[in-house]
Chains A and B, each alone.
Chain A
């Protein structure tokens, strides 16, 4: 499978470990990631807070490039990029006149034919392959799948999973050999862009998320969004400040969890780049399985 890869602003910077792990798992999963040539910003929050046409035209430019460069699917690993690209695609698919208006602005042919996928959707669709290629049972590691706000919402735009009780990431974790936990905060808000302007709110929201995951017995959280990652990882120390002991919950990208399951070298997955140390989790996940430690957990399947 050949995918157009749209890194957005974070995958070459704060979320390098996400890119590294994606590139590492691509080959064993039979995926070829090709970075789009001449891609530009998705517009993120700024564009759609200021000018609606701009907020559609910017991602549309990226989609048009992908079309020109011969891709039928684009992977946007950042949930915000994914939301912008998928929203633009959704809007232009339903509004012919808007499509014509945007095509004129782009000054290049554009038929809106390219599909946009997130990490969660891509890996969910690759679960048979992941199961086949999995080399480690992850030591029965208990992982909480965290979706945040944009991966599965709004339903009309995303639509690959239930918005309130999503299960695609759990399917992936199970396929990679991990054990997903049942918990309650998987679609709650992490505070997103308020990380800088209202840090207190982000800390309060993040603490609630992490506390619940911990209560449910999670040893790590898997995310599919660099924003969630940065809020839960970078701010975790501040969240722990008022607590008797540090939360100490490593925040992994879903692609890193899959990489561990595929038996890849932890250093190739960028697991050393986290604020909250992943060492203990990685150690457990990579330990050679004890003879009797075969997991009896039923595998969760999603039709």
Chain B
């Protein structure tokens, strides 16, 4: 390359004040290989770009250096201008004389000399640039949504309504997630199931949504636009196509004392069961841990203890087929929406180093329950049909004490983050209670009330001022059973007095945690997660629903504690990102990716170990007869993000990053010595 043009920008006063742009242009004009050099007030403006195009045409330039701002700012602008003039855009480079020079210096002659050095360095780099072509990747325009809670449902519906096919995978027997367990929702007190179930049915009936309930993602391979997903369809023990959801099998099952997961352990279910009447799909599943026949089959017994459900089924749907099925799906994008679990206090948390709250007696005192259990007690579809009855003796509680921040905001025993939803749902619980038991006492122990959100603060004030909830600022040190009451010993930090309340029921607002097993799923997807197991977004402000792996998006409470409005907003945002990706049949990407020199690669695969994106693959080199010569590293250009870690790691210097090759970088560095 011998005919390079150098264009020096004043950026108004931004560069011009401390750097003599005309002098930079003059000095650059004398460099070997530079055929043209000039300066201009605003190079990024239309006349500035015209100047470049004109010079390329008139002086037959074959490379362009723009000495101006950071490439983050205007590299695209100038490369487009260069391409417009008929030169490969990757033969345009920027010398950053603003952020790296004029903005950080005061001495004009010294800054000008430095700007000349920077420009010379980039000219030398450009001499070794090669023309590059953008990478084009075909896009499979179908999406996978993992998780059938409200976030997954919303994302699936939005993508499907946008005209693309969706595969929705839910690990439980029904979609609906935690939202289906809630009684009413804040801040409007509308019935959770009433607003959710129509959406669930919509998912089931949507022609472009393929619902795979009772299934789990086993493996994910590939890259943006081209993922191959292996899904395990867990055995329900019956033929889904024959079942019409009549419920006769459930009614006939003799095992009726199994704690119901849907009712948070407060209700009972059978061994063959549909988790709740509005379940989607309305197909039962046989619980292998409790069904006598299933256990018998696994043990290899010849004679079976029970076959009541088989007899009861009028359609012969119950087959006791115990084999899981493995299916594969090809998709172009993935939305992770796996939701949350509650911090199970008082249980064994040794595995994750949490100590629990033995002083609250959860699990030992029957009338100490968590927030989700209260939802079930208050819900019309719950085990008490919405009648508030405490678990121990079924009495209507006259005094309920609510404890906020159990496990949240407690680095000593729990988790340091705020779970975000508890202030609101506790206020809701006090209202629900007072609406059902008008003369009952609802006392809340809180640390702060965090009610940021539309109508949220007003909602909490309503609980206090109109519905008479008593709020006590302070913590509770101990809950203990005394006769048929739960004695609450706390401290009111506003009055500075200890408080003792005899409660009939205590509700713990326990922390929101990530789902168990999320780490394994994140590793399958090559997305990062924080130390609490929440999926990391690509940028906390500007890319909230993307992950650091292209083509994989995140929505809802698997990213951080989220309430329903937030989860839905994230899901719609993720869906719009997916639809944006699917708007073209091909994906165009910058060609600044790694390339392996197969001739010199020794196959040590250091690069493979350090690659954060799983872009390095093993490639076998064979001779003409098909004998294996050696195994080398090979970079998948669709997955590579161009970070350069492999290039820096390679002991044999066999990896180069296109656009940032070693010769280019060394030339740029050596130019500073001249």
- Kindly list chain B residues whose C-beta atoms are within 8 Å of the C-beta of A155: 355
Within 8 A of B (CB), among A37-95: none
The CA of A125 and the CA of B361, in the complex, are separated in Å by 26
Q: How large is the interface on B (under 10, 10 to 19, 20 to 34, 35 or more residues)?
A: 10 to 19
B480 touches A165 (CB 8 A): no
Q: Is the CB of B355 within 8 A of A162?
A: yes
Q: Looking at the assembled complex, report how far the CB atom of B490 sits from the nearest CB atom of chain A, in whole angstroms.
A: 15
Q: Are A165 and B355 interface neighbours, CB within 8 A?
A: no
Is A184 an interface residue when CB atoms closer than 8 A count as contact?
Answer: yes
Residue B471 CB within 8 A of the other chain: no
Pairwise interchain contact A162-B356, C-beta atoms closer than 8 A: yes
Decide if A283 is an interface residue (CB 8 Å cutoff). Answer: no
B672 within 8 A of A: no
- Total A-B pairs, Cβ < 8 A: 16
CA A162 to CA B350, docked complex, whole Å:
11
Q: Does B276 have its Cβ within 8 Å of any Cβ on chain A?
A: no
| Among candidates B355, B356, B357, B480, residue contacting A184 with C-beta atoms closer than 8 Å | B480
Q: How far is the CA of A164 from the CA of B480 in the complex (A)?
A: 12
Residue-wise interface mask of A (157-171) relative to B, using a CB-CB cutoff of 8 A (1 in contact, 0 not):
000001111000000
Q: Cα distance A164–B357 when bound, in Å?
A: 7
Q: Which residue of B lies closest to A215 (CB)?
A: B482
- Contacting residues, chain B, for A162 (C-beta < 8 A): 355-356, 358
- Interface membership of B324, Cβ < 8 A: no
- Which residues of chain B come closer than 8 Å to A184, judged between CB atoms? 480-482
For chain B residues 466-488, which have a beta carbon within 8 Å of chain A?
480-482
Which residues in A have their C-beta under 8 angstroms from that of B480? 184
Cα-based distance from A231 to B546 in the complex (angstroms): 62
B359 at the interface (CB under 8 A from A): yes
CA distance A165 to B356 in the complex (A): 10
B359 closest partner in A (C-beta): A164
* Closest CB in chain B relative to A152 CB, distance in Å: 10
Q: Find chain B residues with CB under 8 A from A164 CB.
A: 357-359
In the assembly, what is the distance between CA of A162 and CA of B361, in Å? 13
A63, B355: Cα distance in complex, Å: 29
Query: Distance in Å from the Cβ of B622 to the closest Cβ of chain A?
Result: 55
Contact with A along B500-526 (1 / 0, CB 8 A): 000000000000000000000000000
What is the CB-to-nearest-CB distance from A58 to chain B, in angstroms, rounded to a whole number?
Answer: 27
Q: In the complex, what residue of chain A is closest to B360 when comparing beta carbons?
A: A164
Chain B residue at minimal CB-CB distance from A303: B348
A contact residues around B358 at 8 Å (CB): 162-165
Shortest CB distance B557–A (Å): 29
- Give the distance in Å from the alpha carbon of A162 to the alpha carbon of B354 in the complex: 11
Q: Which residues of A contact B357 (CB under 8 A)?
A: 164
Q: Which residue of B lies closest to A162 (CB)?
A: B358
Quote the shortest CB–CB distance from A241 to chain B (angstroms). 25
A163 to B355, CA, bound (A): 9
Q: Mark A178-191, 1 if CB is under 8 A from B, else 0.
A: 00000010000000
Q: A281 CA to B665 CA in the complex, in Å?
A: 87
- How far, in angstroms, from A164 to B476 measured CA to CA in the complex? 13
Q: CA of A163 to CA of B477 in the docked complex: distance in angstroms?
A: 13
Q: How far is the CA of A2 from the CA of B356 in the complex (A)?
A: 35
For the complex, give the distance between the alpha carbons of A126 and B355 in Å. Answer: 25
Task: Give the docked Cα–Cα distance between A163 and B413 (Å).
Answer: 11
Once bound together, how far apart are the Cα atoms of A271 and B577, in whole Å? Answer: 77
- Closest chain A residue, CB of each to CB of B479: A184
B479 to chain A, nearest CB (A): 10
Once bound together, how far apart are the Cα atoms of A46 and B422, in whole Å?
44
Output the least CB separation between B643 and chain A (Å): 36
Instruction: Name the residue of chain B whose CB is nearest to the CB of A154.
Output: B412
Whole-angstrom distance between the Cβ of A55 and the nearest chain B Cβ? 22
Closest to B364 in A: A165
Shortest A216–chain B CB gap in Å is 11
A242 vs chain B, min Cβ distance (A): 21
Contacts of B364 in A (CB 8 A): 165
Tell me the nearest residue of chain A to B355, going by C-beta.
A155
User: What CA separation (Å) do A184 and B364 show in the bound complex?
Assistant: 12
Interface string of B354-384 (1 = CB under 8 A from A): 0111110100100000000000000000000
**Residues of A close to B361: CB separation below 8 A:** 165
Distance of A302 Cα from B600 Cα, bound (Å): 60
B173 to chain A, nearest CB (A): 32
Scoring B residues 328 to 365 as 1 if CB is less than 8 Å from chain A, else 0, what string do you get? 00000000000000000000000000011111010010
> Considering the chains assembled together, what is the distance between the CA atoms of A162 and B360 in angstroms?
13
Chain A neighbourhood of B481, CB < 8 A:
184
Residues of A within 8 A of B359 (CB): 164-165
User: Bound complex: CA of A145 vs CA of B49, how far in Å?
Assistant: 85
Report A190 CB to chain B, min CB distance, Å. Answer: 16
A179 to chain B, nearest CB (A): 18
Q: Which residues of A contact B355 (CB under 8 A)?
A: 155, 162-163
A163 CA to B412 CA, complexed, in Å = 12
Q: Shortest CB–CB separation between residue B137 and chain A, in angstroms? A: 51
- Chain A: CB-nearest residue to B413: A155
Alpha-carbon distance A184/B359, docked complex (angstroms):
10
CB-CB under 8 A from B482, the residues of chain A are 184
**Distance from A287 Cβ to chain B, minimum over Cβ atoms (Å):** 33
Distance in angstroms between the alpha carbons of A155 and B354 in the assembled complex:
12
Query: Which partner residue on chain A sits nearest B363 by CB separation?
Result: A165
Bound Cα distance from A164 to B358, whole angstroms: 5
A165: chain B residues at CB < 8 Å are 358-359, 361, 364
Min CB distance, A157 to chain B, in Å? 13
Query: Could you tell me the distance between the alpha carbons of A184 and B365 in the complex, rounded to whole angstroms?
Result: 12
Which among A162, A163, A165 has the highest number of chain B CB atoms within 10 Å? Answer: A165
CA distance A165 to B355 in the complex (A): 11
A183 CB to nearest B CB, Å: 9
**CB proximity of A165 to chain B, nearest CB, Å:** 3
Residues of B within 8 A of A163 (CB): 355, 358
A182 and chain B: residue at smallest CB distance: B364
A48 CB → nearest B CB, Å: 20
A217 to chain B, nearest CB (A): 15
* Alpha-carbon gap, A162 to B482, bound state (A): 22
Q: How far is the CA of A242 from the CA of B291 in the complex (A)?
A: 60
> Residue of B at shortest CB range from A188?
B478
- Shortest Cβ gap from B506 to chain A (Å): 15
Tell me, rounded to whole Å, the shortest Cβ–Cβ distance linking B192 to chain A: 34
The residues in A between 205 and 238 inclusive whose CB is less than 8 angstroms from any CB of B are none
Chain A residue nearest to B356 (CB atoms) is A162
Shortest A189–chain B CB gap in Å is 12
Closest to A187 in B: B359
Closest CB in chain A relative to B151 CB, distance in Å: 35
Chain B residue nearest to A164 in the complex (CB): B358
Give A147 Cβ to nearest chain B Cβ, in Å. Answer: 12
CB distance from A149 to the nearest CB of B (A): 13
Complex alpha-carbon distance, A165 and B358, angstroms: 5
Within the complex, the shortest CB–CB distance from A301 to chain B, in Å, comes to 14
In whole Å, how far is B508's beta carbon from the nearest beta carbon of chain A? 14
A151 smallest CB distance to B (angstroms): 14
In Å, the complex CA distance between A163 and B358 comes to: 8
Q: Compute how far the CA of A165 lies from the CA of B348 in the bound complex, rounded to whole angstroms.
A: 12
How far is it, in angstroms, between the C-alpha of A184 and the C-alpha of B488 when the chains are bound?
Answer: 13
> How many angstroms between the C-alpha atoms of A22 and B580 in the bound complex?
76
Complex CA gap A162/B413 in Å reads 11
**Shortest Cβ distance from A163 into chain B, in angstroms?**
7
Least distance between B489 CB and chain A CB atoms (Å):
10
CA distance A155 to B411 in the complex (A): 13
How many Å lie between the Cα of A290 and that of B364 in the bound state?
Answer: 34
Give the distance to chain A from B162, nearest Cβ to Cβ, in Å: 52
Given A163-B355, A165-B364, 14 more A-B residue pairs with CB atoms under 8 Å apart are A155-B355, A162-B355, A162-B356, A162-B358, A163-B358, A164-B357, A164-B358, A164-B359, A165-B358, A165-B359, A165-B361, A184-B480, A184-B481, A184-B482
The 4 closest A-B pairs by CB, nearest first: A165-B358, A164-B358, A164-B359, A184-B480
Residues of chain A having any CB pair with chain B under 8 Å? 155, 162-165, 184
16 of the cross-chain contacts (CB-CB < 8 Å) are A155-B355, A162-B355, A162-B356, A162-B358, A163-B355, A163-B358, A164-B357, A164-B358, A164-B359, A165-B358, A165-B359, A165-B361, A165-B364, A184-B480, A184-B481, A184-B482
Task: Using CB atoms and an 8 Å cutoff, list the residues of chain B in contact with chain A.
Answer: 355-359, 361, 364, 480-482
